[in-house]
Chains A and B, each alone.
Chain A
Amino acid sequence: MSLLQVGILFFLGVAILLYVLLAGADFGAGILELFRGRRRRDEQVRLISHAVAPVWEANHVWLILAVVILFVGFPKVYTSLTVYLHIPMLAVLVGIVARGSAFTFRHYDTLSPRFFRLYSAVFAASSLWTSFFLGVVAGASFLGAIDPGATGFAALYVAPWLNAFCLILGLFTSSLFAFLAALYLVGETREPELQAIFRARAAWAATGMVALGALVFASAEAKGLPLARAFFANPLSIGSFILATLIWIPFWGSMRQGRAGWSRTLGAGVVGLVICGWFAVQFPVAIRHVGGSGLTFAEASAPAATLRAMLIALLVGSLLIFPALGYLLKVFKWETFEKG
């Protein structure tokens, strides 16, 4: 791989990582709302709206950036995804539109409680739906059930993603997002009871994550994909796995002591390492096909002139975006937390 390709791939990785860590939590907030139990139901919704609203739009843009990098830098990967996985992609899309509109509408259209409930229901349900299908798409690009030589609609467009591995990965993604949301939300309130609720949610989601993570490995083996071997043979993925496990202990310590700054950083670190572990096993293949072959990033990339121009755009863009994003988070996340 050329340095240019590595550079573009780096930005793709950063965009996906930040989408998971930031927007993933917004998905998770919707999922938590869906399963918000009996206690303090209205306060939970209010807290979630309040916490998410200022950063909602900015968080969403990481996905758009990732899609743009894909279709400019790795057009064949993008075409392959949108052709073979168009059904789960459409599902993602419908979900994004539904939850994006519902969230905004519930914030601004406050005339009647009936509509508030309707928007909230759509937001919560579509958060689960969309995060599930995002996981399915990621799983299908990894699994290697895409068969460009197949004939028939089902074999070409359904089989690559409708299988135990992809579905479990979908659920795993949802629990990952719920975990992030719960641990971020603990730091958004000073009320001990609400904090306790979200701490318990974080524990539930973490349990789900671990159990589903084990099932991901099991279902991969059942499907004939030696995921465990690939994972443990790769120093980067096993490294991130070990590091994530090590962070786990101080993370729960900081959660118990209610040190939100620490628990947010460490919790996000755990999830970030999971994502990095996935990148490490997936690389250098972008989309695996039947029989272990597939499309690598190196093969699928655009000509050097395109990559160079895009890298310039991304570097200049970063100089503008990161300070602005830092300011946004400082005003609405850090200062809020400091002042209470």
Chain B
Amino acid sequence: MPFLMAAAHWLYLRRGDSDYRILTKAWSKGVAIFFAVGAVSGTALSFELGLLWPRFMEHAGPIIGMPFSWEGTAFFLEAIALGIFLYGWDRVRPWIHWGSGLVVGLSGVTSAFFVICANGWMNSPAGFDWNNGNPINIDPWAAMFNEAAFLQGLHMVVAAFEAVGFAVAGVHAILFLRTRYRLHARALKIAFVFGALAALANPVVGDFSAKSVARHQPVKLAAMEGLYETTRGAPLLIGGIPDEVAEKTDYAIELPGFLSFLAYGDFKAEVKGLKEVPRDERPPVLITHFAFQVMVGLGSLLALVGSLGLFFLWKRPEEFESRRMLLTLALCLPFGFIALEAGWIVTEVGRQPWIIYGILRTAEALTPRPGVVYTLIMYALLYGFLSFVVTMLMIRQTLGLHRQLREEGR
């Protein structure tokens, strides 16, 4: 979102069109609201790690804490830069002001990378030896630069651009359809270009990610695919319902050899199935498989819509603003976010029953304190309430924007 804001700001500084100034301010309010709610829910999260998972933090904190310290630095810079951007309109020189907006975005992306280093470590633990339930020989650098970190981080950051790009484009497509303000068409184009480019890049990045999962977490890959038997030339399953009791996946469309190819670049390669590990070391297959299908399905759809839209923008600009295209973009509004969340379900549910893959079980990491279910309910209510309020605020922001546009007689 800060990058969209900086892009609009850049256009304003270059062209001096006040539409872009209004747009920059409108988006910066969105950024400010998301940031503020992100900051408080992030604080909640840093407490929650201890309140819900003290055993995990006691073991993992020393090993994987370093990315959190770096993340803290990046977050700090983001907070400072945001303060300068939001309140610096007539106080700091224009290009420094623009730069502060860019720093908000850059440090946000950096934060995301560092946090995902920590998550990557849970998937691909490194930088310590496990000695009777205690970590020894800790190497925080090796833990931070674990093998999953980079690809997972890249996949997530690109996904964030994709989700935000399509969501913002969708909102402005709807608003443009209803009000025909030029401002919305311009906003729509900026957001769409970000979203579309990300949507085209993400299948490639995701493929690298999948290859890494195949090497480091074969059980997760098998669950993603609903593959029970270890198979040479394994088929790619599209759709299908895994039956966890009968240990097979029914009603799927099979593309022979394609899973082996996607995982190892060889149609004949052997892909490990779920039966390789005992039942109590398997993740919930149905959820993982379903979430993976959702992610890939929606991701492919957005890549398609993205390339079509880019083609229109390049060759047929009038077609881009046609009712059909605008309705399509409005429909795609939530898809990026749904795909992103589905991806998180794949990686988190797919890692179960482990919290640190192969090392510590999720059940063992939970707090020993009784009544933890109430804490969980409280957190769920808190996040639910915040989501509701933020949605409401965003709707009211656009109402405020339209009021401003009307008053200025545009």
Contacts and interface: CB of A to CB of B under 8 A. Distances in A.
Interface of A: 53-58, 60-61, 63-65, 67-69, 71-73, 75-76, 78-79, 81-83, 86, 89-90, 92-94, 96-97, 100-101, 103-105, 107-111, 153, 157, 302-303, 305-306, 309-310, 313-314, 316-317, 320-321, 324-325, 327-328, 331-332, 335
A71 to B, nearest CB: 5
A270 B381 CA distance: 41
14 contacts: A63-B43, A90-B378, A97-B386, A108-B397, A109-B393, A109-B396, A305-B138, A306-B62, A306-B138, A313-B70, A313-B73, A320-B77, A327-B80, A328-B83
Nearest to A83: B54
Contacts of B389: 101, 105
A96 to B, nearest CB: 5
A76 B61 CA distance: 10
B80 A58 contact: yes
A65 B80 CA distance: 14
Nearest to B69: A313
Contact of B61 (A71, A328, A331, A332): A71
Contacts of A321: 73, 76-77, 80
Contacts of A316: 73
A73 B75 CA distance: 19
A108 B33 contact: yes
**Residue from the set B32, B50, B66 with the largest chain A CB neighbour count within 10 Å:** B50
B73 A157 contact: no
B217 interface: no
A76 B81 CA distance: 34
Contacts of A60: 39, 43, 79
Contacts of B375: 86, 90
Contact of A83 (B65, B76, B83, B369): B369
B54 A82 contact: yes
A54 B29 CA distance: 13
Contact of A55 (B46, B83, B397): B83
Contact of A320 (B43, B46, B73, B367): B73
A310 B50 contact: no
B204 interface: no
B73 A104 contact: no
Nearest to B367: A83
A61 B79 contact: yes
Nearest to B63: A306
B50 A101 contact: no
Interface residues of B, number: 65
Given A64-B46, A81-B50, A96-B40, A324 B69 contact: no
Contacts of A153: 370-371
B83 to A, nearest CB: 5
Given A57-B39, A60-B43, A65 B76 contact: yes
A310 B369 CA distance: 30
CB-CB nearest 9 A-B residue pairs: A72-B65, A82-B50, A317-B73, A100-B40, A302-B62, A104-B36, A57-B79, A309-B140, A75-B61
Contacts of A109: 393, 396-397
Contacts of A107: 32
Nearest to B400: A111
A50 to B, nearest CB: 9
Give the residue among A53, A83, A316 with the most B Cβ atoms within 10 A: A83
Given A61-B72, A302-B62, 13 more contacts: A61-B75, A63-B43, A68-B72, A71-B49, A97-B382, A100-B40, A104-B37, A309-B140, A313-B69, A316-B73, A320-B73, A320-B76, A328-B84
Contacts of A56: 36, 83
B91 interface: yes
Interface string B354-394: 00000000000001111100010010001000100100010
Nearest to A311: B69
Contacts of B66: 72, 306, 309-310, 313
Contacts of A325: 76, 80
A185 to B, nearest CB: 17
A65 B43 CA distance: 10
B256 interface: no
Nearest to A69: B69
Given A53-B87, A100-B40, A104-B36, A72 B49 contact: no
Contact of B87 (A54, A82, A93, A111): A54
B57 interface: yes
Contact of B65 (A64, A92, A302): A302
B42 interface: yes
Interface centre among A56, A104, A314, A316 (most CB of B within 10 A): A104
B223 to A, nearest CB: 31
A56 B54 CA distance: 30
A58 B141 CA distance: 28
B72 A75 contact: no
Most A CB contacts (10 A, CB to CB) among B35, B51, B73 go to: B73
A79 B54 contact: yes
Contact of A332 (B39, B71, B83, B378): B83
A56 B32 CA distance: 11
